[in-house]
Amino acid sequence: MPTATFPLAYLSRLTTASPQQLVQQAFDYGLDATLVGHSLEVEVTADRPDLLAPEGFARALNIYNSQANGQANGQANGQANGQPRSHPDPLPPSGRSIQVLPQSPPLRPHIAALVVETPGLGAEGLEALLQFRDKVTQTHGRHRQKLALGFYDLDQVQGDLVYGLVPGDQVQLMTLDHDRPRTAAEILTEQAQTFPPGQPLPTPDLLPVLRDGAGAILCIPPLVNVADLSYITGETQRILVEVTGTSAQGVAGLANIVAHNVLDGGAIVKTVTIITADGSHLTPNLCPRPVPFAAKFLNEVVGTFIAKGDLHRYLARMDLHVTGGEGGDCVQVPSYRTDILSQSDVAGDLLVAVGIDQLQADRSHLQFYNGTPNPLKTLAHRLGEFSQRLGLTEVKSYILTDPQLLQGFPGEAIHTANARSQSHSVTRTTLLPGLLDILAHHITAPKPIQIYEIGEVLQRLAPRPETSASQEPPQNPGLIQPAGLVQEEMHWGFARLGSKASFAQAKSYVQTLLQGLDITYTLADCDLALYLQGRSAWVVVAGQPIGHFGEIHPEILHRFSFPEPICAGELNCQGFSGKI
């Protein structure tokens, strides 16, 4: 979880609670806070980007505790007597606009902005603001890949702004960390070293650029900001805030969070007009959004028996306000709560509002059911028993693996989105690479080494139908969509390392196993490249190949540095589970 550091001097401007009280209040709210010198370090869950700012942290605790005590302790945040937090509605206009040019290709098509006036941040406030920018773009913004946030001295920005793609050879600018203008190629070369490995960056051919009315470049999101325009201090009176990203919802949500933060700090927020090819709209938009809920569902999930008429008292502690109507009950969710999407999220907040220490187990409604065993799990137990009788030792490997490990083995791997490392970036299509990798790590053990594994693999099936240009794009463009249907299968695999490992030995393992399960099968010639030609076979059940076995090819033995031969095989358990 990300850790935010809040100066106590700045927190004292936002809440009347003492540092020791803040630590206890944070614990009650479900956060881990620690006093370190003149600062408070808070571990924030990934779904609450609003808590990465001191204003958001103080706001949450003020509302939570003022409602619990029945007092108006949260008046610094506009919260009192159970009423929603107050803010100017509507927000005043700034008179500034941003024209968004169509992007082809759509590298970073969405932008939102707001103007902050008379902030009076001071040194502590500026430090907290810049820390929030860094933390929220690294975590919620996935290292600025999904969201990037920039601040500019509005007095240095001329006229209305334009956001669109610009050829890289037209870009040359002075950034905050250099004393000379740099070209687009130089900027990209440097940024490629600072961004996480594998993160896509714009190309020098076309770059997303935000410019003012005089043509001066403010930034190249998500790469760099211009030195003069983006230099702000604690005394800067007017600040332009811009958010760019790949998702319109994410961009609008982050702009709303920033607006709430600066409003709670005592500043004035004004809207900016965003002009696109589809029309124009104002940002930020602080209107709460309704999320429907059922009181019965909340009580069942949390394990409470709160009357429907009393739910509002608890939910108000989380700044959620209950409304009713012909369409059913709803909670009005403030625009800074980007984590609440359904009544399941409301149930999570209700649990925090009630307090987990207040819940007591009610065993009077316990019911017992006799379930039916999963046939595949039952088969897996039987396979395990037979394998151990054959002298095989059970091993386990991860379903996520290294794509280089799968080279030379059948199947097309599926890449995961936002993998933390290459060693766990694709799903396995077969158990054999994992078995050979385990043997390679125990190559000095006494021979022979005989192992087996029962586990899940993912297989790609028919190609995915092509999407026409008129269809909606995927809801989450950052997620890698598999190019086809995917099926999860349970496989049994084995491998033996030793001087006597041979096709005959592999056949004896498979034959003994299938005969023990009373499975009728036949063998057919196998042409898989991972086996020696003429020393492998397909296992066929009811006319369908359900597995294979044989002697591993010398090229694969050399890749794993095996000094002795290996025989191995693998069976798809679904292929014969219905025959038992």
- Domains assigned to the chain: 1-72 (3.30.56.10), 89-287 (3.50.40.10), 289-358 (3.30.56.10), 375-461+484-576 (3.30.930.10)
Quick one: CA dihedral 102, 166, 245, 113, positive or negative? Answer: negative
Report the candidate in 86, 108, 232 with the shortest Cα–Cα distance to residue 165.
Answer: 108
Q: What is the mean pLDDT of the chain?
A: 85
Amino acid occupying residue 169: D
Ranges 228-237, 396-405, 494-503: which has the least confidence: 228-237
Q: Which residue has the higher pLDDT, 408 or 186?
A: 408
Separation of alpha carbons 339 and 384, rounded Å: 44
Amino acid occupying residue 296: K
Tokens of 441: 């790590």
Question: What distances in angstroms separate CA 283 from CA 97, 177, 280, 305, 481, one per listed residue?
Answer: 10, 30, 10, 41, 31
Residue pLDDT, tens place only, 476-486: 333 344 455 88
Residue pLDDT, tens place only, 321-353: 999 877 788 999 999 999 999 999 999 999 999
Q: Is the pLDDT at 445 greater than 70, yes or no?
A: yes
Q: Give the DSSP letter of residue 494.
A: E
Separation of alpha carbons 44 and 130, rounded Å: 17
Residue pLDDT, tens place only, 413-444: 888 877 777 888 899 999 999 999 999 999 99
pLDDT band at 206 (very low <50, low <70, confident <90, very high): confident
Q: Which residue has the higher pLDDT, 67 or 74?
A: 67
- Contact criterion met (CB below 8 Å) for 99 and 163: yes
Residue pLDDT, tens place only, 465-477: 454 434 444 443 3
Q: Which residue has the higher pLDDT, 294 or 86?
A: 294
Q: Is the pLDDT at 223 greater than 80, yes or no?
A: no
What does the buried/exposed string (b/e) look like for 29-67 if buried means 16 or more CB atoms within 10 Å of the residue's CB? bebebeeeeebbebebeeebbbbbbbbbbbbbbbbbbbb
> Could you count the other beta carbons within 10 Å of the beta carbon of residue 150?
22
Amino acid occupying residue 29: Y
pLDDT band at 571 (very low <50, low <70, confident <90, very high): very high
> Could you count the other beta carbons within 10 Å of the beta carbon of residue 207?
24
pLDDT at 69: 56
Residue pLDDT, tens place only, 22-43: 999 999 999 999 999 999 999 9
User: Residue range 124-149: average pLDDT?
Assistant: 88
pLDDT band at 229 (very low <50, low <70, confident <90, very high): low
Write the burial class of residue 279 (CB in 10 Å: 0-12 exposed, 13-18 middle, 19+ buried): exposed
pLDDT at 578: 72
